[in-house]
Amino acid sequence: NIDNDFAEEDVAGFVATDFKQNGLSIQFKINGTAFNLEQLGRHNMQNALAATAAAAQIGISLETCAKALETYEGIYRRHQIISKENDVWLIDDYAHNPAKCAASIAACQQIAPKVIAWFQPHGYTPTRFLRADFVNEISAVLRPEDEIWMSEIFYAGGTTVKNISANDLIMDIKAKDKNAFFQEDRNDFFN
């Protein structure tokens, strides 16, 4: 049972409070109405808050929103549980920007004493542009026992200049005393 240290979130007059994550589910209140989702992470509470605020604008009650979200199964590749064996979870999440990578790792920390995250940056120009953000966001969320692994940047074609490597990010994260590792070919990650 994890209680988040943030007091509340506010969107258009709708306030989320009392966030808790219990294993693979989250609980919180929006304007006093209890919500329970089979999802991970504070960011899913924020998404539910935004959706509820939008639904209220067209006359849908908080109670109806809470009931509908109880059965929400999430979307493909967002904290999708692939397997659990010997207390080891394999969870796929298509996080692709610095804040989403950090949120994904933080959500998984609530169910595991150690998170081993693997990430493959997408595109040389975006990675170069977001380098400091990736390094700072990921470094800030990693606990001493956690690890981040990266394979080489995914190249989708085009005329981009390949003057950055995922290993550059790994070296920057290591410089912040975090467990960071480079595995050039993602197909070799499990070898």
What's residue 10's pLDDT?
65
pTM of the model: 0.75
What's residue 77's pLDDT?
67
Residues 6+ apart with CB under 8 A from 180: 147, 148, 149, 150, 170, 171, 173, 174
3-state helix, strand, coil in the chain (%, to 5): 35, 25, 40
Q: Quick: pLDDT tens for 103-136.
A: 889 888 888 899 999 999 999 999 999 999 999 9
> How would residue 4 be classed by pLDDT, with cut points 50, 70 and 90?
very low
> How would residue 13 be classed by pLDDT, with cut points 50, 70 and 90?
confident
